[in-house]
């Protein structure tokens, strides 16, 4: 027999999700070898999001089967109010499997996705949203200019060439320093990087006074949830081909793949630089909430239980 009435029935309103869900995919199966510094990289990634995202957002983390220490850290981040939605997968379902969950489950109408090794600089989301909400039929926006694969952005070029309101420029607009800052974290030799840089060009667009570069990268992007859902489901038989499917499907459907005109994210890969180690990322206001201090939490919950018993037990 039920004792009393559920106090939740007295609630008049429920908290609503933010318009933007920032979703991070995490996979750290151990803390050895390749993954020896990945835990610290993840902490820098989440910290930079919390510190440098000035636009309202909810933070979602999809953990793809990480080790117990990392899972405990994520649980503590959720308990402190820094993570609003935390999902644990028992096993690694691949990036495509994680994307299918995120694209369906994220509560916001806009999804800002990131791998767990991106470092975010102030203004990254605001600049991404300017492009997303100004340009028509946008598929994805990456928060820095890169030299990407042109075959994956043919739809963007075709739209720009036939639209008289678009200014299209081709040339060397990305400096080698900005190119090297990102591309040097991918494990390529400096000789290969120079060759790639010298044999690629940049395509820059201006539409309604908003500048954007053609191209995008699936390690970080922002777009409309409804658009990403149109790309589902992914072919899961080829784990390493899932990311390319998103790029190809957006391009084939005529969606624009764009980048902001300044480097406001950086790929840390699996190592923490000395500059990163010196950065204090999470402000005390975001890190600390009085109600989550352990003994205070226990005391408040005990008082709540006593009140419920007093009023509702017969």
Domain of residue 198: give its range.
16-282
CB 86 within 8 A of CB 75: yes
Residue-level pLDDT at 314 = 44
Residue-level pLDDT at 6 = 73
Residue-level pLDDT at 212 = 98
Report CA 214 to chain centroid distance, whole Å.
Answer: 20
CB 217 within 8 A of CB 247: no
Asked whether residue 106 is assigned to any structural domain, the reply reads: yes
User: Domains in the chain: how many in total?
Assistant: 1
Asked whether residue 220 is assigned to any structural domain, the reply reads: yes
CB 27 within 8 A of CB 61: no
Asked whether residue 52 is assigned to any structural domain, the reply reads: yes
261 contacts: CB under 8 Å, gap ≥ 6: 145, 204, 211, 212, 213
Asked whether residue 167 is assigned to any structural domain, the reply reads: yes
Asked whether residue 190 is assigned to any structural domain, the reply reads: yes
Asked whether residue 305 is assigned to any structural domain, the reply reads: no
Q: How far apart are CA 307 and CA 292, in angstroms?
A: 20
The three state secondary structure string of the chain is: CCCCCCHHHHCCCCCCCCCEEEEEEECCCCCCHHHCCHHHHHHHHHHHHHHHCCCCCEEEEEECCCCHHHHHHHHHHHHCCCCCEEEECCCCCHHHHHHHHHHHHCCCCEEEEEECCEEECCCHHHHHHHHHHHCCCEEEEECCCCCCCHHHHHHHHHHHHHCCCEEEEEECCCCHHHHHHHHHHHCCCHHHHHHHHHCCCEEEEEECCEEEEECCECCEEEEEHHHHHCCCCCCCCCHHHHHHHHHHHHHHCCCEEEECCCCCEEECCCCCCHHHHHCCCCCHHHHCCHHHCHHHHHHHHHHHHHHHHHHHCC
CB 201 within 8 A of CB 171: yes
Report the CATH number that the domain containing residue 268 is assigned in CATH.
3.90.550.10
CB 202 within 8 A of CB 173: yes
Phi, psi of 182 (to 5 degrees): -85, -50
Asked whether residue 306 is assigned to any structural domain, the reply reads: no
Residues of the chain with pLDDT under 70: 8-12, 238-241, 274-314
pTM for the predicted model, two decimal places? 0.85
Kindly report whether the peptide bond that precedes residue 233 is cis, defined as omega within 30 degrees of 0: yes
Asked whether residue 290 is assigned to any structural domain, the reply reads: no
């Amino acid at each position: 027999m039920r004792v009393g009435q559920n106090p939740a029935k007295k609630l008049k309103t429920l908290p609503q999700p933010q318009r933007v869900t920032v979703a991070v995919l995490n996979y750290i199966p151990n803390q050895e070898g390749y993954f020896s510094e990945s835990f610290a990289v993840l902490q820098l990634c989440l910290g930079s999001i919390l510190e440098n995202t000035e636009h309202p957002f909810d933070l979602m983390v999809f953990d793809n089967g990480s080790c117990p220490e990392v899972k405990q850290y994520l649980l503590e981040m959720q308990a402190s109010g820094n993570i609003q939605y935390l999902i644990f997968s028992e096993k690694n379902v691949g990036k495509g499997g994680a994307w299918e969950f995120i694209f369906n489950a994220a509560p916001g109408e806009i999804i800002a996705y990131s791998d767990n090794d991106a470092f975010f600089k102030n203004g990254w989301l605001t600049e991404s949203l300017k492009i997303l909400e100004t340009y028509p039929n946008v598929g994805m926006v990456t928060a820095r200019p890169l030299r990407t694969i042109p075959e994956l952005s043919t739809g963007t070029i075709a739209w720009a060439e036939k639209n008289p309101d678009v200014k299209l420029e081709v040339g060397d607009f990305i400096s080698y320093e900005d190119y090297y800052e990102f591309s040097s974290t991918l494990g390529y030799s400096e000789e290969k990087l120079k060759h790639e840089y010298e044999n690629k060009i940049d395509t820059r667009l201006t539409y309604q006074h908003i500048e954007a570069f053609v191209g995008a990268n699936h390690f970080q992007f922002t777009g409309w949830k409804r658009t990403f859902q149109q790309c589902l489901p992914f072919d899961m038989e080829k784990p390493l081909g899932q990311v390319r499917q998103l790029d190809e499907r957006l391009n084939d459907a005529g969606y624009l793949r764009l980048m902001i005109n300044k480097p406001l994210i950086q790929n840390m890969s699996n190592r923490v630089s000395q500059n990163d180690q010196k950065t204090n990322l999470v402000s005390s206001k975001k890190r600390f909430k009085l109600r989550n201090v352990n003994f205070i939490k226990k005391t408040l919950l005990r008082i709540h239980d006593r009140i419920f018993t007093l009023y509702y037990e017969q």
